[in-house]
Amino acid sequence: MAQKINLLLNKRQVFLLAFLLITSLFVGCTSGVIDSNVEIADRRWTYRNQISTQFEIKDNTKAYNIYFKLRHTADYKYANIFILAHFKDGKKVVTRRYQYKLAKNDGEWLGSGSGNVFSYSLPMLTNYHFPHNGKFEIEIEQNMRDNPLLEVSDAGVLVGLAQ
């Protein structure tokens, strides 16, 4: 009986330790991070449905990485995606077009999968230094020929300190 109690306590301790480790990794890896994720209604991403993320940079002497986050279903019919990213700095707007490969030539998805959904964190800017401290905004719009673009479940932006 004592062995069963010790085993149960050990399982709980291992679970708690694993939970704390994962939590600390998440918090540690995301210090200074802005992580947005917007669900796409009915998995139909239209041109007008731009994903907007606002954030504040408090230390522009540090380098940041900016990622485009995407989740789509296995029914997404393309092996890539084009997006327009509008980087807004008060009055100034800089627009860049990005193309990301989402599948191998044989059709195997490159993203991490969970059931029927595939997730990606795709680099937009790495080791980027913001021009000043203050408020910024990034707007993402899909730039494919299809409008709406079907089977995109959500999209967002991740801004974090570069390592």
pLDDT tens track for 72-113: 999 999 999 999 999 999 889 999 999 999 999 999 999 999
28: part of which helix (H) or strand (E)? helix 2-29
Confidence of residue 27 (pLDDT cuts 50, 70, 90): very low
Instruction: Count CA within 13 A, CB hemisphere, residue 112.
Output: 5
Residues 39 and 13 in one domain: no
Helix (H, G, I), strand (E, B) or coil at 96: strand
Residues 115 and 130 in one domain: yes
Indicate if 92 and 38 belong to the same structural domain. yes
Is the pLDDT confidence value at 145 over 70? yes
Minimum mean pLDDT range among 71-75, 111-115, 116-120, 122-126: 111-115
The Cα 69–Cα 36 span in angstroms is 8
pLDDT of residue 90: 85
Q: Are residues 93 and 75 in the same domain?
A: yes
The predicted pLDDT at position 139 comes to 98
Residue 22 has pLDDT above 50, yes or no: no
Q: What is the mean pLDDT of the chain?
A: 86
Asked whether residue 17 falls in the same domain as residue 84, the answer is no
Are 99 and 120 contained in the same domain? yes
What is the domain extent for residue 78? 33-161
Asked if residue 69 lies in contact with residue 85, where contact means CB atoms within 8 angstroms, the answer is no
- Cα–Cα distances (Å) from 15 to 12, 18, 79, in that order, read 5, 5, 39
pLDDT at residue number 31: 54
Count structural domains, the chain.
2
Comparing C-alpha atoms, which of 152, 158, 139, 120 is closest to residue 48?
139
Are residue 22 and residue 58 in the same domain, yes or no?
no
Same domain, 61 and 138: yes
How confident is residue 117, by pLDDT bands cut at 50, 70 and 90? Answer: very high
> d(Cα 5, Cα 95) in Å, to the nearest integer?
61
Q: Are residues 21 and 88 in the same domain?
A: no
Q: Are residues 16 and 4 in the same domain?
A: yes
Note whether 9 and 47 are same-domain residues. no
Q: How distant is the alpha carbon of residue 20 from its chain centre? A: 23
